[in-house]
Structure formats: C-alpha cells, structure tokens
Structure 1
Amino acid sequence: MRAGKGIWEWFRGLNWERIYFAIHRLTAIYLVLYIFPRPYLVLLHGSWEEALKFDMTPIGRALAALFIFSIAFHGINGLRIMLIELGVIKGRPIREPIRFIPALRTSKLNWLLMALTIVGTVVGTLLGTYLVLYGSEVWP
C-alpha cells in the first residue's frame, strides 16, 4: 500500500491517534481563519461596534461557539501531544509495513487522558457557548 498525498493522508488507517490528529489540524485551520480576518473586518466597517453586529446574529454566535470548541480541543490535545513527546505517554510511531496499533491501547493513563480531553472539550465548549449566548447578562 502506497502512502497517499494531501489531506486524505490524515484519514488513512483511522484510529484514535489519527482522528485526534485530523481534528487538531482542522481546529488549527479554523482558529487561523477566525482570528486573522478580525482586524480587517474592523477596518472595513470603520468601527469595532459595527464589526461586532455580525457576532450578534445566529450565524455569528454559532461561529463563536465553534471557535470556543476549537480553542478547548486544540489546547487540550496539544497538551496530550506534549506529554507524548516528553515520554510520559508511550506513543509508538506507526509506519508501513508495520501493522496499525493505536497507541491509546498501551496504557490506562492514555485512556484517562483521552477521557479528560473529551470531558474538557465538552465542558469548555458548553461554558464558552453559554458565555457567548448570555455573557452580557451574566458578566457586568
């Protein structure tokens, strides 16, 4: 089996590590596309208040909630990747022709970190979405 090219390589031989890797990349792309155009929107509309009118629409709030999810997942998964790089988690590189063995099967610590990643992402997303939707009434 020859290695693929491009974005489809992210999804070849799926296991938890590959899925986290793909979501990590997709959230990075979304964060860049959400953050960097913001100053240009302010310049285009002339003031910050005019630029924020889009954020008050349902689409703007959905994009902001997705931004909060992206920050939470990308940050927590980045910590998991750092632990792998530091050797706290025993991840194994998977290359052809080696049989695909998910690294998360090797330790109970890996399963705990995976559960913490999921719980942290869900809690961060829910809290961020709540603050996006009701932030002005909750925080003075």
Structure 2
Amino acid sequence: MRAGRGIGEWFRVINLERVLFLLHRITGVYLVLYIFPRPYLILLYGSWEEALKLDMTPIGKLLAAFFVFSILLHGINGLRIMLVELGVIKGWPVRDPIKPTPALRASKANWLMVVLTVLGTIIGTAIGTYLVLYGAETWP
C-alpha cells in the first residue's frame, strides 16, 4: 500500500476550502514578490520618481491592480482562516480512516464568510483598480 499519491492527492477532492487555501498561497507569494524588490528598483533607477515610471506603464498598472486584489483576498481570507482556527465558524469534523474526506463540513457561517470574502474582494478590487488607473483626485 502506498503512503501517498504525490501531487495528484492535492486535486483528488477539490472543495472550497482547498481552492481558498490555494488562492491564499498564490496571493501571499505575489505580495512578497511585488513588495520586496521595490527598494532595489529605487537603487537601480537612482531615484523614487524614476522607479515610479515603471508603475505608469500598462503592465505596471495591471500589476498594481493585481496587488490590490491580492492584498484584499489575502487579508480577508486570512481573517476567515483565523475564525476557523478559533472555532468561531468551525464545521463538524468528518473523518473516515478508510476514505479520507475534507475536515470541515459546510455550515451557514462558513458560507457567510465565503460570501463576505468574495464581495469584499470584488468591491475592494474595483475601488483599488479605479484609484490606480485614474488617481485619487478623480475619486467622487
């Protein structure tokens, strides 16, 4: 009997918890890769103003919009994970030693947090993208 199925085990049972956890990892990596090279760009270009010219290009604006999306999704999903870990929105464990299943069963509180996560991410991304593309001066 094999101990595991390798990377295929990750995709054997795809549920909402696994998708949100995957998005949490991806946005976390993106945030690190977006934030930490910034000081080196300043050193490379010689001044902050020269480094910001990269952000004024269409690719720079797209990366900044995805940065805002990543901050919102990572933060709101992190709050959801904290509430699950604290037991506030914890589901009932469903474990079977023969046939492993996801640990959390869906509950109304879990779905409420998922809906709030999605709505907060969409609204925050829309506002952040508007500010990135058009500037704070045009904000109503």
User: Contact (CA 8 Å) 1:11, 1:19: kept in 2 or not?
Assistant: no
Q: Aligned residue for 2:6?
A: 4
Q: Mapping of 1:24-103 within 5 angstroms?
A: 24-91=24-91, 92=93, 97-101=98-102, 103=104
CA contact (8 A) 1:65 1:129 kept: yes
Unmatched 5+ residue regions in structure 2? none
Please report the RMSD computed on the Cα atoms of aligned residues, expressed in angstroms: 2.2
TM-score by length of 2: 0.86
1:96/1:31 Cα in 2 relative to 1: closer, same or farther (>3 Å)? farther
Distance in structure 1 (CA, Å) of the matches to 2:96 and 2:54: 46
* Deviations 1:50-98 (CA, angstroms, capped at 9, x unpaired): 0000100000000000000000000000000000111001144868644
Contact between 2:31 and 2:71, CA under 8 Å: does it hold in 1?
yes
Percent identity over the alignment is: 62
Contact 1:16 1:104 in 2 (8 A): no
The separation in 2 between residues aligned to 1:3 and 1:79, in whole angstroms, is 31
Residue 23, structure 1, aligned to residue 23, structure 2? yes
Choose 1 or 2 for highest CA Rg. Answer: 2
- Give 1:135 deviation, angstroms: 1.3
User: What is the TM-score with the length of structure 1 in the denominator?
Assistant: 0.86
Can you give the 5+ residue segments of structure 1 that lack an aligned partner in the other structure? Answer: none
